[in-house]
Structure 1
Amino acid sequence: MITHLVFDGVTESSLGIGVDIVASAAQLAGGHGVAAPHAARLLRQRVVSLDGRPVRSGAGRSIAVDGALQLRGMGAADVLVVPGWFAATEASMQLWLAGDECRRAAAWLARAAARQVMLAASCSATFLLAEAGLLDGQRATTTWWLGAAFARRFPAVTLEAERMVVQAPGVLTAGAAFAHADLMLAVIARMASATLAQRVARYLLLDSRPSQSRYMAMEHLRVCDPAVQKAEQFILGNLQRQIALPELARAAAVSPRTLARRVHAALGMTPGALVQRLRVAHAAHLLETSNASVEEVAARVGYADPAAFRRVFRRYAGDSPRGKRSHSACWQPG
């Protein structure tokens, strides 16, 4: 059984694609790694709220549910999925986490984990799993624009904010709202088979997206720490050359160890990763707004070797430089 737990503000697209993926998997299961009768049992689903009442979506519409969350009979063969809601700022996320609904939900999730129920969450709902202590000592991802806030609040979690989906023992996490599709495909692969998940993806035209890096905007990652701000300004002014950690620390007026600690606390990454991310962000801007060749763009952001640039770009942007340019062109008028 797959149970979708929803709260006020739930993103309708996340809930909808989650339900559709499970329904499609149930219909396509026969002959694709799971016997149809077995799939019918595994891929039953329901939508619930904590109290059994309808919830109001982020779009302001009433979402009917099948009842209240109940754990009776649930165990290792079951999944509890929490689609996220749109939290634009760290302040709005903190407000929700301080509320009674969060405390009650965290207690339910802890009881579900004790029953060996698989837990899965996307976007802002990953904060709920972390708040319940269910991600301590685990790897996880979250919605990209709240990655720094997540890293600060939950230092016991190994955050991999660039990843679209992170699978850890007993728990799966995914990035921003539409990453819920990737999350649900991972759930299907875990519960049924990878073959079935791949077939569902083909039928629903869902591409493989291992990284949410291509969607990250650096302006959302900027922080108030003056040392980190100085480091960022120095990097942006020296994109065309190599920057060593001691030099960057001197520019920030702190020791290398202190800079590493403060960058990680503020952004959940190393100073080296910050350098690469800023280079890739500027390279992506050039690819989207100029006709410069990939080789020219590589040189402008400090890479004499275009092949090395392509590798780093793919790692941080989740796509090739040419792919980034072509994806950008799809959004242009005309």
Structure 2
Amino acid sequence: MPSTVTHLVFDGVADGPVGVALDIVGAAARVVRAGLVALPRGRMAPLQRIVSMDGKPVRTAARRTLAVDSALSLRGLGAGDVLVLPGLGMTTAPAIAAGLDRPDIASGVELIARAAAKGVLVAASCSATFVLGASRVLDGRQATTTWWLGPTFAQRFPRVGLRTDRMVVESGGVFTAGSAFAHADLMLAILASTLSPSLAHTVARYLVLDERASQSRYMVMEHLGSSDPVIRKIEDFVTSHIERQLTLHEMARATATSPRTLARKVEKALGTTPRHFAQRLRVAQAVHLLETTQHSVEDVAARVGYADPAAFRRIFRRETGETPLARRMRRG
């Protein structure tokens, strides 16, 4: 069975994130069905639906009527499925408090907690992260929210490790994102985690999401976090030794696994090889250096482990679709 992405909307839902999410998941399904990206064995193109608590249309933040497919039901939802909440039109602390007291949102909070207990991946962006917080699924985990509501979030949910410096945070299988249009980054991160990083990159390229100031293509790389501690260890090891190339045996020793076991775990979690994962991390760091420093392309190449600048340029273009110099010039 393909995984199902269920978009749960309430009255006051932000219009833009709903459309962006539908476009991203729809594009992912078309890319897979066209054979442009091969998914790992056993995974299929995603399905999606929009639901409300009672199955009735909702009024968006722009006061438009948004039709839905059905009422939210946990029947048929399980591990591998996604329940995602687009941001709501709650921009102040009093609006947050009033929103969480609404009967429809209170009922949603209860069902979200039950969905997470069933193994459903739950996610939210912007002020909808408060709904996840109220469900307690974020307790003991890290999360982000829209930056100006950070103090309100921290006060209301002291058991959550708040990271307002991050665009998207994955922690223990729960995804959160910052302001409303970070919902695009959130959906790409979910695609990368549940289906394939290559699929997320391809969708970002087709929808030109790499043009956005949030650097969605590279936010995907930052937030491919897996619940498997081996994946976290290899990411930490690679980023700690970003200035040099690492062998498979070195990465295996750092994660206390054999090369074969490491390869199997990375393939299962990320749909790629340990060497390619390390390469993507180095390219992501190169993007950061190109956009935030005046180091030459040759110096950036050396700082991320490429002694041969020509090889670095080839790999950078293959991974990002543009040259290092073009990336720097486009970001000004």
Indicate the TM-score class for this superposition, using the shorter chain for normalisation. Answer: 0.5 to 0.7
Q: CA deviation at 1:74?
A: 1.0
SS in 2 for 1:178: helix
SS in 2 for 1:70: coil
Q: For residues 84 and 44 of structure 2, what CA distance do their matches in structure 1 show?
A: 18
Q: Does 1:67 align with 2:70?
A: yes
Matched residues, percent identical? 50
Q: For residues 62 and 166 of structure 1, what CA distance do their matches in structure 2 show?
A: 31
| Other-structure match for 1:309 | none
RMSD: 2.4
| Other-structure match for 1:39 | 44
Aligned length: 217
Q: For residues 136 and 91 of structure 2, what CA distance do their matches in structure 1 show?
A: 23
Q: CA deviation at 1:154?
A: 0.6
- What are structure 1's unaligned runs of at least 5 residues? 212-293, 296-322, 330-334
TM-score, reference length from structure 2:
0.62
- What are structure 2's unaligned runs of at least 5 residues? 220-292, 295-326
User: Is the 8 Å Cα contact of residues 106 and 128 (structure 1) preserved in structure 2?
Assistant: yes
Q: For residues 50 and 97 of structure 1, what CA distance do their matches in structure 2 show?
A: 14
Name the larger-Rg structure: 1
Q: CA deviation at 1:203?
A: 0.6
For residue 100 of structure 2, the aligned residue among 97, 102, 108 is: 97
For residue 106 of structure 1, the aligned residue among 104, 109, 113 is: 109
Deviations 1:206-234 (A, max 9, x none): 122468xxxxxxxxxxxxxxxxxxxxxxx
User: Is the 8 Å Cα contact of residues 40 and 195 (structure 2) preserved in structure 1?
Assistant: no
Q: For residues 99 and 24 of structure 1, what CA distance do their matches in structure 2 show?
A: 34
Q: CA deviation at 1:99?
A: 2.1
Deviations 1:229-266 (A, max 9, x none): xxxxxxxxxxxxxxxxxxxxxxxxxxxxxxxxxxxxxx
User: Is the 8 Å Cα contact of residues 78 and 119 (structure 2) preserved in structure 1?
Assistant: yes
TM-score, reference length from structure 1:
0.61
Q: For residues 85 and 36 of structure 1, what CA distance do their matches in structure 2 show?
A: 36
Q: For residues 84 and 158 of structure 1, what CA distance do their matches in structure 2 show?
A: 20
Q: For residues 113 and 90 of structure 2, what CA distance do their matches in structure 1 show?
A: 23
Q: CA deviation at 1:139?
A: 0.3
| Other-structure match for 1:141 | 144
Q: Does 1:162 align with 2:161?
A: no
Q: For residues 111 and 166 of structure 1, what CA distance do their matches in structure 2 show?
A: 21
Q: CA deviation at 1:35?
A: 6.8
| Other-structure match for 2:203 | 200
Deviations 1:76-111 (A, max 9, x none): 110001101122211111111122222211100011
Q: CA deviation at 1:115?
A: 0.6
